[in-house]
Structure 1
Amino acid sequence: MARIRTVKPDLFINERVAACSVTAVVTYIGLFTQSDDHGRHRDNPAIIAGLLWPLRAEHTPVHVEEDLQQLADAGLICRYTGCDGKRYLHLTGWYEHQKIDKPSQSRLPVCVDHHGEKRCGTCKGTCAAVDASTRGDVAEPSPDTQRGLDRAAGELANPREENAPATHARQIALVPSTGPTRTVEEKAAGRSRFPEASPNPPRNLSEGSAPGSRILDPGSCSPTGRTAPGTVTAGDLLAGYVGSCAQRPPGDVLGHLGRVVKKLLAEGIDVEHVRAGLARYAEIQGHPSRLPSLVNDAMNARVPARAGSRPSTTHQAWTNPVDAAAYAEEL
């Protein structure tokens, strides 16, 4: 969650800040608002880009990584690996320039190089990495641990076949990872370093790639982007129309026309009717919305009467005459 922070006027005349680019300075000031009460934050350019540059799509995580590297080179931030193995950063001048009223406890690991005396969010106190460095590499094991080491060493010297798996498990559980007994652990690990090969053959996860482009065709209904041989797509019809024009039409016209052609093909209209409509449209031009009516003309064109055929006559119903005397002879 963003927080209200202090930006001092001296920031803009600081030589280390002036050595960075403008975008790096904006990222630096933005980190003031996103870091916790101890100036710590995740060292992830994608996360920082989403927090600080959400409306600047052109400033990608790659650019944010460049900003962070400039800030680190200038000594304005410190990028470090926490005791949990993840990457973090902290603002180096945080405690000198930010005065936080009732700061909350940090949930992030501490930088042992700069703030080793501060509370570590992961260790809930002094960082375990600092404790290990102050204790030293050689530590005398407790009596219980020493008895376990002696028993493990005896089993290594006289292994029994029936208890071999259990012995190896006890060796790994009892031998600590620090101190002069590390050689015993390495011996125990070396005995089971090469496990028995599995009878099942390894699976091949790679699939052969089929030739051809995977880019979806504009008029294709196939999810793979490939069309069956001989299938005419909206892109093919549109390419024929563009070829019949003296100059290439604007992109908006082609985009609208392509959508109309694709819709006509989706309705099941014959390709030849659509092609005839496009040919007529190339002659008269106009708005792309005229294409469906031109295709309709091609579909329902009147068939001329054949020679010698009887012309069609319109039947008229008989009505009673008003003046019956005028039709007396016919009646």
Structure 2
Amino acid sequence: MARIRTIKPEAFVSESLAEVSVESERTFFGLLTQSDDHGRHRDNAAIIAGLLWPLRAEHTSVHVEDDLHQLANAGLICRYTGCDGRRYLHIVTWSEHQKIDKPSQSRLPSCPQHQAAARCAPCKGTCIKQAEDSPSALRGLAEASPNVPRTLDPAAPIAASPREDADGTSALRQAVLEDVVVTRQHPGVRSAGQGPFAEPSPNLPRSLGKGSTPGSRILDPGSLVPTGRTAPAADVSANQLVGEYVASCHERPPSDVIGHLGRITKKLLGEGIAPEHIRAGLANFAAHPKHPSVLTSMVNEAMNARSSGLVRPEIRPNVPAHQAWTNPSNAAAAYAEEL
């Protein structure tokens, strides 16, 4: 949900903002309005492009990814992976320039580098993952407490403590004694100090079904025929493929061409087309530059091209291959059956 934020006059003479492009500066100002009350936001170029550049079709998610990269290099934002495994970002100087009267609790994980002590939404407090990685985490006890028995021998007699309550046994010692009695009666059962239940619990665990397969559960309502394709590899993105194409060009193509190719490449990756086929199509497009809309046809050509030419008898095995007409020297011998 967008919010009203403050932009100080000093922002326009900031040396940090002067290091990035004008488009990146606008993306930064837009992030101020879209981040929560702690300066956090999802690190997804497609989401940010839809929120901040809805009426600028020429500024695609590929350009927004470049804006975020510039802002991160300038130290204006910090991009991190939350304890839930997703990518997030937060504005580094948020607390210095934004004064929130009654900030609401963040629903996003905290940054392990700049907000380690802040509240983490998935952990409902200080981030558990950060606490485990911290060298100051809780370690094992150096020695056993003198108030708790270290080892209980089932065959040893139970001696009374000199410091007992009026009834003869303290509450803690009573729990320990019950634990020893249960252990002596049932040597194969290890008790945690609690007694047996008077009656079975009515909330019995339900039977678990088959394990859920990993991956997205969102189905495309427009797909009626399964394509059999799988999602592309996570380490290959549209930005990377278009970047390889730009690097192979002698001169940098216009921004409109790069943006159009980026949209088509992202759509092809979303359909599950292998990155090798898209890379081959981009290589063909670099060798024969045309309108960016022909990239889809070039990728299809790289996927379904056959080296055997147009004649493919294996498709219709009952029909013989085409044979070019020749003028026979002896017509009577060549067409004896027809004559």
- Which of structures 1 and 2 has the larger relative contact order (alpha carbons within 8 angstroms, sep 6+)? 2
Q: How high is the TM-score relative to the length of structure 1?
A: 0.43
TM-score (norm 2): 0.42
Q: Which has the higher helix share?
A: 1
Larger of the two Rg values belongs to structure = 1
